[in-house]
Amino acid sequence: MTETALPQQSIWKSPKMRARLARRYRAERRFRRYGIAGIGFAVTALAVLLVSIISRGYPAFVQTEIRLEVYFDPAVLGDLATLSPPERQAAIVHADFPALVRNALLASFPEVRGRRQVRQLTGLASIGARSMLMDAVRETPGLIGQHRSFWVPASANVDQFIKGRISAATPESERKLTDQQIGWIRALAADGELRRVFNWRFLTSGDSREPELAGIWDAAIGSAYTLAITFLAAFPIGVATAVYLEEFAPRNRMTDLIEITINNLAAVPSIVFGLLGLALYLNVMHLPRSAPLVGGLTLALMTLPTLIITARAAIKAVPPSIREAAIGLGASPLQVASHHTLPLALPGILTGAIIGMARALGETAPLLMIGMVAFVVDLPHSVLDAATVLPVQVYLWADSPEQGFVEKTSAAIMVLLGFLAVMNGLAIWMRQKFEKRW
């Protein structure tokens, strides 16, 4: 009897078929193991990346401060009480506040002599200390002639030494602090003149040339302005385009060409949109360079294809029976789209929009092309003021050789990842809460 004539049960129990099934099962197990290994490798790589960023970035949220007993010497500042308010402000701006910082430190170390030693001692405090004293006198002119205690930020080198980034075991010629400066730091710490506090300045101040004074607040505001412009420009156009293509456009070669073009634009490198923004908004329309308005419009061009694709998918997911029922009740095509299809598809559209905004938040290359790489210290008050954004701020700090900026770079990445996680979490929540299953 031939093999084809065997009963079906006998064929499956034959040695040849069992061997084939065994090979199939082995292949499935290998494929499963490869998949698990791939997932494990990806999770491990992500964990290593996050641990590396967090381990480098968390010290930036701690700041070392020095306590100074400041005497607002009238011989240094002058008699501000006799001046009119405009004259007083001008005198404060030109007053020698660095001398007050120097005198306060010399009072703690009266044995210091010589210009070089005085300069090294003064270098323990940040240059931001003079600004703090200036603001204090500007707010309270009556401080002239009085003694006050102030906690001022320490210099970046002192901060790095306290955090263990600079070791006293390193030869003096290979570190930025001398042995004498380390001795002063230890004396201040022993006397309780040094402390470590949460670095609110990192979250509430703008960029600075000094690592201990640099913050992300201006970049965060610039990112908020830029994302607002991106959303206002891209969302209405993207939704309107998706509704037209899905509900009203005739099926012909022209619409097929438009769909192919939109799909191809979604894969175009982001720097190409930066070149387009440079040519259109700056060279043709002459909009202000490095402004959130230009950055938002440029990112809107980049976000539009993704938004249109996701909006069309959400509209297409609405069952045809909804449209047919509305038409059966006498609704016009426009009423069907605006009163029924679009409201039901809106959760999916908003989810796609949030994901697109999250991608725009992390973009750097298009903004570099339109000049949002400038050193910006002042807070932008409108979308026309010069500003920077968080990814560009990370780029600028990463290019700085100081150790203080290395931890600020990682800390800014942590803040940026936090924003991205919140936005993606919001998108997932909206999809699960408002999505309708048919």
Q: How far is CA 187 from the centre of its chain?
A: 39
Q: Is residue 437 pLDDT above 70, yes or no?
A: no
Is domain 217-434 classified as CATH 1.10.3720.10?
A: yes
Residue with tokens 């150790």: 403
Which helix (H) or strand (E) segment holds residue 194: the answer is strand 194-198
Cα dihedral: 98, 103, 108, 111 (round 10): 120
Write the DSSP assignment of 203-225 as a string of letters. HHS---SSGGG--SHHHHHHHHH
Q: Is residue 167 pLDDT above 80, yes or no?
A: yes
| Contact status, residue 314 vs residue 345, Cβ threshold 8 Å | yes
Calculate mean pLDDT across residues 226-252: 90
Calculate mean pLDDT across residues 122-147: 87
Query: For residue range 353-364, what is the model confidence (pLDDT) as tens digits?
Result: 888 888 888 888
Burial class (CB in 10 A: 0-12, 13-18, 19+), 9: exposed
Find, among 68, 106, 101, 66, the residue nearest to 194 by Cα.
66
> Of the ranges 31-40, 208-217, 421-430, which one carries the lowest mean pLDDT score?
421-430
Predicted confidence band at 234 (pLDDT cuts at 50, 70, 90)? very high
Bridge-based pairing of strands 194-198 and 147-153 is unpaired
Query: For residue range 378-413, what is the model confidence (pLDDT) as tens digits?
Result: 788 888 888 888 998 998 888 887 888 888 999 999
Predicted confidence band at 23 (pLDDT cuts at 50, 70, 90)? confident
Which helix (H) or strand (E) segment holds residue 182: the answer is helix 179-190
For residue 81, the model assigns a pLDDT of: 66
For residue 366, the model assigns a pLDDT of: 87
Q: Is residue 9 pLDDT above 70, yes or no?
A: no
Predicted confidence band at 237 (pLDDT cuts at 50, 70, 90)? very high
179 phi/psi in degrees, rounded to 5: -60, -35
Residue 204 carries which side chain, given as an amino acid letter?
T
Calculate mean pLDDT across residues 240-256: 88
CA distance 148 to 150: 7
Rg value, the chain, Cα: 32
More confident residue, 5 or 240: 240
Q: Is residue 160 pLDDT above 50, yes or no?
A: yes
The partner residues of 235 in beta bridges, in order of sequence, read none
| Contact status, residue 406 vs residue 315, Cβ threshold 8 Å | no
Q: Is residue 11 pLDDT above 60, yes or no?
A: yes
Write down the mean pLDDT value for the chain: 86
For residue 51, the model assigns a pLDDT of: 92
> Of the ranges 76-90, 285-299, 352-366, 410-424, which one carries the lowest mean pLDDT score?
76-90
Q: Is residue 16 pLDDT above 90, yes or no?
A: no
Q: Is residue 325 pLDDT above 70, yes or no?
A: yes
Taking the CB of residue 371, how many other CB atoms lie within 10 A of it?
17
| Contact status, residue 100 vs residue 133, Cβ threshold 8 Å | yes
pTM: 0.83
Write the DSSP assignment of 251-294 as a string of letters. -SHHHHHHHHHHHHHTTS-HHHHHHHHIIIIIIIS-PPTT-HHH
Q: Is residue 174 pLDDT above 90, yes or no?
A: no
Domain range annotation of the chain? 8-58, 61-213, 217-434
Predicted confidence band at 8 (pLDDT cuts at 50, 70, 90)? low
Write the DSSP assignment of 114-132 as a string of letters. SHHHHHHHHTTB-THHHHH
Q: Is residue 5 pLDDT above 70, yes or no?
A: no
Q: Is residue 264 pLDDT above 60, yes or no?
A: yes
Q: How far is CA 4 from the centre of its chain?
A: 68
For residue 1, the model assigns a pLDDT of: 45
Query: For residue range 26-67, what is the model confidence (pLDDT) as tens digits?
Result: 889 999 999 999 999 999 999 999 999 898 888 999 999 999
